[in-house]
Structure 1
Amino acid sequence: MGTDTDRHFIERMHWDDVARRIGDGAVAILPIGAAAKQHGFHLPLNTDRIQAEWLAGRMAQKIDALIWPTLTYGHYPAFVEYAGSNSLTISTFEALVREVAGQILGGGCTRLLVLDTGISTLAPVDRALARLASDRVKHVWIHGGPRYPRIARQLAEQSHGSHADEMETSLMLALAPHLVDMARAEASPALQHETPGALTPSDPSSPNYSRSGSFGDPTRATPAKGEALLAAMLDDLDEQAAAFIAKGSELQQPARMESVMR
């Protein structure tokens, strides 16, 4: 038997059902979330993918969108010293995003939301989408919007962090607690830079040394913090999606009429 999410993730659908939904004007969502990127000793390498697909699923339920398969390889140069972590060059990643997004739009989708869970991916995705020169696509970041940063500041007990830290671990405790091994959570040293360069697990003398691969203090994470962060994140994403769809609503009817005339 199918589930409610089966009508949103196109990889679980038949092509003619996808065609019908596109013809009915369904918004598309393209998640970007690494599946081969270290997240400390306590979180799996596919942490970003889990978050991207969970959030995409919740967004899709609200706006009845279609979700394309997640881009699980991206530009993540800060983690390549850790086993299993992969990173594409900027040019390769930009080309990947541009081609996939362009084909989604070229396939008839009137609106596309590119849902980004990364940090080093933000600038390349912006450039890739700018080259499409289309007002039918919007890049949304899961940490963007006014609510999430405010709640994160209120909840944070760690002195620093941005990766496999208190905030990200709290998110995972809320949405996939069975995948979090808090017994292995380990704080990173207070690095010399607020935003480090490439982390290293092998050189204790480096200013970017992190034995576990975390940057921050995941030991301070709790499910309650994660629930509050997720709620703020979803409110931000839903608000951006609604504004984007409303802005382009006047384009949908002409696009449908044109497809009927062909």
Structure 2
Amino acid sequence: MYFADRTWPELDDIEERSLAVVPVGSTEQHGPHLPLATDHLIAESLAHEATDRADVLCTPTVKIGVSPHHRQFNGTMWVDPPAFRDYMESLARNLTYHGIDRIVFVNAHGGNVSHLREVGRRLRDAGDAYAIEWMWNDSIPELVDELFATNGPHGGPKETAMIQHIAPDLVREEEFETARDDGLVDFDEGGMTVHGARTFYDSIDNTDSGVLGDQTDATAEKGEQLFEAAADQLVQLLDWLADQPRDALMAKPHV
């Protein structure tokens, strides 16, 4: 249930609810074939679908995340990690004021993962809430591997297929081959590590198009499969979390 569309009297049961979802993404380059909105569109769509099914509160989407590693590409926006962590913690504490004590960050941007985990630790250590980060493709790895020969972590076929399903008008299919040919398909040949050390800091260090992976076998039909499977996993997570006793979620005492 997306509560920003409701009036405040229509949310008179908010203090009886314990669980809320916060969609989190980014606004950053995803190659010449996908919109900068890719990550936050995926997070928002999955969050709305799952919370409607599970009758769980859903907040507005956080659309700008930790993306400085894509900064060389036009239009990419980002916030510095400390500011992002503080903002997300403050947002979560807004929810605890209304009685929410468990939160799922529905995330679709890899650059946010470690920072959302840190926010969750802060909230749990303080005893205020149990907050966890959920990444859609991590919930269905077998299906992703089954559908695509070369997955690619950024701008590749899994994200391409999802946007073909969610927002087909925003996909530039005529750019698929350019994205692949100017990107990095074979990670073993990418020179991403030297003697065990990661030698890159920015996406452009590895890929001229900003793309990692081969999206030429992406389709809207595959995107629908991914979307439905991930939404189902998220609903199951929300059901599980709602059923947990609060004491089981909070930090354990010193032995």
TM-score normalised according to structure 2 size: 0.83
Q: Deviations over 1:7-57 (max 9, x none)?
A: x22222212223x130342631111011x2111111111111111111011
Cα distance in 2 for residues equivalent to 1:104 and 1:192? 44
Contact persistence 1:112–1:137 (CA under 8 A): yes
Summarize the Cα distance change of 1:225–1:192 in structure 2 as closer, same or farther, 3 Å threshold. Answer: farther
Q: Which residue, 20, 23, 26 being the options, matches 2:15?
A: 23
* Alignment pair present for 1:106 and 2:110: no
Q: What SS does the corresponding residue of 1:115 show, helix, strand or coil?
A: strand
Deviations 1:107-132 (A, max 9, x none): 22243221111111111111112111
Contact kept in structure 1, 2:65 and 2:78, CA below 8 Å = yes
Equivalent-residue separation in structure 2 for 1:118 and 1:21 (angstroms): 32
Return the letter of the residue paired with 2:158. M
How big is the shift at 1:144?
Answer: 2.4
State whether residues 171 and 223 of structure 1, in contact with CA within 8 Å, keep that contact through their aligned partners in structure 2.
yes
Q: Report the equivalent of 1:209.
A: 207
Over aligned residue pairs, what C-alpha RMSD do you find?
A: 2.1
- Ranges in structure 2 where 5+ consecutive residues have no aligned partner: 249-255
In structure 2, the partner of 1:244 is 241
Q: Does 1:155 align with 2:163?
A: no
Q: Deviations over 1:123-158 (max 9, x none)?
A: 11111121112454332221223xx10011111122
How many residue pairs are counted as aligned between the two chains? 232
Instruction: For residue 173 of structure 1, report the CA deviation from its aligned partner.
Output: 1.1
Equivalent residue letter for 1:67: C
Q: Distance in 2 between matches of 1:242 and 1:222?
A: 30
TM-superposition CA deviations, 1:55-98 (whole Å, max 9, x none): 01111111112211111121112211111101211111110111
Runs (5+) with no aligned partner, structure 1: 1-7, 201-205, 252-262
Aligned with residue 139 of structure 1, among 133, 138, 158:
133
Does residue 119 of the first structure (1) align with residue 110 of the second (2)? yes
Task: Tell whether the 8 Å contact from 1:144 to 1:236 is kept in structure 2 after alignment.
Answer: no
1:11-50 residue pairs with structure 2 within 5 A?
11-18=4-11, 20-25=12-17, 27-34=19-26, 36-50=27-41
Q: Distance in 2 between matches of 1:121 and 1:99?
A: 16
In the alignment, is residue 231 of structure 1 matched against residue 219 of structure 2?
Answer: no
Residue 85 (structure 2) aligned to one of 91, 94, 100: 94
Distance 1:71 1:44 in 2: 16
> Partner of 2:192 in structure 1?
193
Residue identity matched to 2:232: D
Alignment of 1:64-79 (within 5 A): 64-79=55-70
Runs of 4+ in 1 over 3 A off after TM superposition: 194-197, 248-251
User: 2:116 touches 2:132 (CA, 8 Å); kept in 1?
Assistant: no
**Distance of 2:87 and 2:146 partners within structure 1:** 37
> Structure 1 length normalisation: TM-score?
0.81
Contact (CA 8 Å) 1:30, 1:115: kept in 2 or not?
yes
Comparing 71-80 with 109-118, greater Cα deviation is found at 109-118
Q: Partner of 1:220: helix, strand, or coil?
A: coil
